[in-house]
Amino acid sequence: MFHVKHSPHILLINPWITDFAAYNLWARPLGLLSLAGLLRANGFRITLIDCLDFHVVRKKYGDGKFYKTKIEKPDPLKLIPRNYSQYGIPEEMVLKRLSSVEEKPDLIGITSGMTYWYPGVFKAIEITKKLFHDVPIVLGGIYANLCFDHAKRHSGADIVFKSGDEREVLKLISELTGYQLRTPCLSGRQANSDLRTETYPAFDLYPHLDYVCLSTSRGCPYRCTYCATPVLTKGFVRRDPVKVAEEIGYWTTHYPVTDIAFYDDALLVEASKHIIPILTEVIQRGIQCNFHTPNALHIREMDEEVAGLLFRAGFKTIRLGFETSNETIQSETGGKVDNQELRRAVKYLKRAGYSGEEIGVYVMAGLPGQKAEEVEESIAFVREVGARPILVEYSPIPHTPLFEKAKEISAFDLENEPLFHNNSILPCQWEGFTIDDYRRLKEELRRRE
Ligand code: B12
Ligand code: SF4
């Protein structure tokens, strides 16, 4: 521990993405920005460097292409016959920004996203270490949580932080800087409240803000075997619907924000207590904004009222988490949906005003032991109910129940090398579902669009 007398300066970094492909679906480092907001409210001074804040092509709703720089593939991926890139601000520009940080930080906090994006995280650690060699670096985020041991061994960060709880982070940073928190938010009544409702994520640190992302809840009551949410978040907590509507109003009134993406894992669950009051407030307040749900909605919860409110409130990108039409797999993987529920949800959404093309339904490809025919059948089923199938490749995630099966089946060393969790390489491909099968299905989908 070291001691800082007044108002410590914290440098927060969102590293580059390193991948075969990446598309900006309203990506913002929500966890890091929430921490920035909380730290600021506690008197810390914050500098943010978001290596991804560099759009090349911006589409109508704010999503778009990242700038990319082709880079050498990491050794474990050498045999994959595809280009590999670093997405985001060119490295020289990031170095320039880092060198022009006016005051040496007292602590550096770096976040991490997908487990297989760690090379960008390591690079961010390496260059900040060179510039600020005696400043402690704390690494947090999804990779740090899911691949804690790997991150501790290889990342070069001084501290790898595992918990997903903001109170723990505040406590850690307060201890590391010797700086007393202003709000006694680590004990008493506040310890049970949701800190994210008291301060907003620090989106205002961006020079140009036309979209933000929002989380109205944390966790999910389901337990799907392929999903990391139950691992990352214990329990299921929701924010007060009126406060959520206030936050939406805040961003759309004080900033030129026209688009908001929901990052919730379970936005529609118990709709009458949550999404219905949120949307009713949004409509009553006359908030004009386009909303997007890239992280998928629960099909089971979609009824006539919810569908109607989504449409009236301005939800433009509707994505439904279906994954498969195979009923055995549906129930084996957690039973979050069945085929009749999809049929019904699409009917309600169409009645509300959406066209079939606007209703995107995620179909999972490459689950351990899954056959190509099963994916084809699922795609056909989504078409038959009148919606648009969107193929998503399975990413095996440590600590999830399905990871064990994935490890048995995969030809890649999933246990020791997070780069192999990359959905793009189809980690669980086998003779029943090959890369060629996948390409054929993808091509068929593309031809019909
Ligand atoms: C939003 C989201 C997306 C967005 C993009 C998000 C982004 N910014 O890049 C979209 C929709 C595009 C997306 C896509 C995909 N995603 Co996604 N996504 C999420 C989701 C729902 C939320 C992430 C988030 O912002 N969480 C909210 C914040 C609050 O949490 P947090 O960042 O972890 O921060 C907390 C702590 O970690 C900590 N912390 C964070 N940073 C720091 C820094 C410091 C210094 C400290 C001390 C602490 C700290 O503090 C915060 C406290 O609350 C997560 C699930 C989840 N619940 O986290 C999945 C998740 C990350 N996605 C996942 C998957 C599988 C995918 C896809 C592969 C799906 C697919 N098959 O297509 C694609 C991949 C895209 C690609 N190009 O490769 C997996 C992870 C896979 C992996 N191997 O890592 C997750 C965990 C989903 C799951 N339920 O299993 N995703
Ligand atoms: S319903 Fe969605 S968020 Fe919840 S456990 Fe299943 S896949 Fe994860």
At 38-69, the pLDDT tens digits run 999 999 999 999 999 987 788 999 899 999 99
pLDDT at 186: 46
**pLDDT tens for each residue of 195-213:** 555 689 999 999 999 999 9
Number of domains in the chain: 2
Where among 182, 202, 223 does a domain terminate? 182
258 and 123 share a domain?
A: no
Q: What residue's CA is closest to ligand 2, atom 3?
A: 265
Q: Is residue 281 part of a domain?
A: yes
From 220, 338, 362, the mutation candidate for ligand 2 (largest count of ligand atoms within 8 A of CB) is 220
User: Based on the domain organization, do 156 and 232 belong to the same domain?
Assistant: no
> Domain span at residue 110?
9-182
In contact, 325 and 362? CB cutoff 8 Å: no
Q: Above 70 in pLDDT, residue 426?
A: yes
As a whole number of angstroms, the distance between CA 74 and CA 35 comes to 31
Pocket mutation for ligand 1, best pick of 263, 291, 400 (most atoms within 8 Å of C-beta): 263
pLDDT, tens digit (0-9, with 9 covering 90-100), for 220-261? 999 999 999 999 998 999 999 999 999 999 999 999 999 999
3-state secondary structure of 17: strand
In a domain, residue 196? The reply is: no
Q: Decide if 260 contacts 214 (C-beta within 8 A).
A: yes
The Å distance, Cα 29 to ligand 1 centre, comes to: 9
Ligand number nearest to the C-alpha of 232: 1
Q: Is 31 within the bounds of a domain?
A: yes
Verify that 104 and 165 share a domain, yes or no: yes
Q: What was the pLDDT predicted at 164?
A: 76
Q: Are residues 248 and 378 in the same domain?
A: yes
Q: What is Dmax (Cα atoms) for the chain?
A: 65
111 within ligand 1 shell (Cβ under 6 A): yes
In a domain, 168, yes or no: yes
Closest ligand 1 atom number to CA of residue 418: 83
Q: Do 159 and 233 sit in the same domain of this protein?
A: no
Q: Is residue 409 part of a domain?
A: yes
- Indicate if ligand 1 lies below 6 Å from the C-beta of 161: yes
Q: Are residues 144 and 245 in the same domain?
A: no
Beta carbons of 44 and 7 less than 8 angstroms apart: yes
pLDDT of residue 57: 80
Query: Burial level of 448, CB count in 10 A (0-12/13-18/19+)?
Result: exposed
Verify that 361 and 430 share a domain, yes or no.
yes
Distance (angstroms) between ligand 2 centre and the Cα of 261 equals: 18
Task: Summarize pLDDT for 355-394 with one digit per residue, the tens.
Answer: 999 999 999 999 999 999 999 999 999 999 999 999 999 9
Residue 343 maps to a domain: yes
Question: In the prediction, which pLDDT does 194 show?
Answer: 52
What mean pLDDT do residues 131-144 have?
97
CA distances from 122 to 35, 86, 186, 259 (A): 21, 12, 31, 31
**46: domain CATH number?**
3.40.50.280
Distance (Å) from CA 110 to ligand 1 centroid: 14
Is 263 near ligand 1, meaning CB less than 6 Å away?
yes
Q: What are phi and psi of 86, to 5 degrees?
A: -105, 120
For tokens 């949906």, what's the residue?
A: 337
Residue with tokens 């016959």: 81
Q: Quick check: CB of 401 below 6 Å from ligand 1?
A: no
Closest CA to 103 of 3, 12, 13, 9: 9
> CB within 8 A of 393, min separation 6: which ones?
364, 365, 366, 423, 424, 426, 438
| 228 and 355 both lie in a single domain | yes
Quote the mean pLDDT of the chain. 94
At residue 166 the predicted structure's pLDDT band, cuts being 50, 70 and 90, is confident
Residues 217, 152 share a domain: no
Q: Is residue 4 part of a domain?
A: no
Mutate to test the pocket of ligand 2, among 146, 263, 265 (most ligand atoms within 8 A of CB): 265
Average pLDDT for 155-184: 89
Do 170 and 268 fall into the same domain? no
Query: Of 182, 200, 235, which closes a domain?
Result: 182
Residues 65, 150 within the same domain? yes
In short, whether 30's Cβ falls inside 6 Å of ligand 1 is yes
pTM: 0.96
CATH value at residue 244? 3.20.20.70
State what percent of residues in the chain have pLDDT above 70. Answer: 95
Amino acid code (one letter) for 64: G
Mutate to test the pocket of ligand 2, among 227, 298, 330 (most ligand atoms within 8 A of CB): 227
Specify if 131 maps to a domain.
Answer: yes
Tokens in use for 95?
Answer: 């170095």
Strands ordered across the beta sheet of 137-139: 45-50, 9-14, 107-110, 137-139, 159-160
User: What average pLDDT does range 276-288 have in this prediction?
Assistant: 98
What is d(CA 441, CA 449) in angstroms, rounded to the nearest whole number?
A: 13
pLDDT tens by residue, 75-98: 999 999 999 999 999 999 999 999
Q: Is 195 in the pocket of ligand 1 (CB under 6 A)?
A: no
Single out the residue in 161, 182, 203 at which a domain terminates: 182
Is there a single domain that holds both residue 177 and residue 219? no
Phi, psi of 447 (to 5 degrees): -60, -35
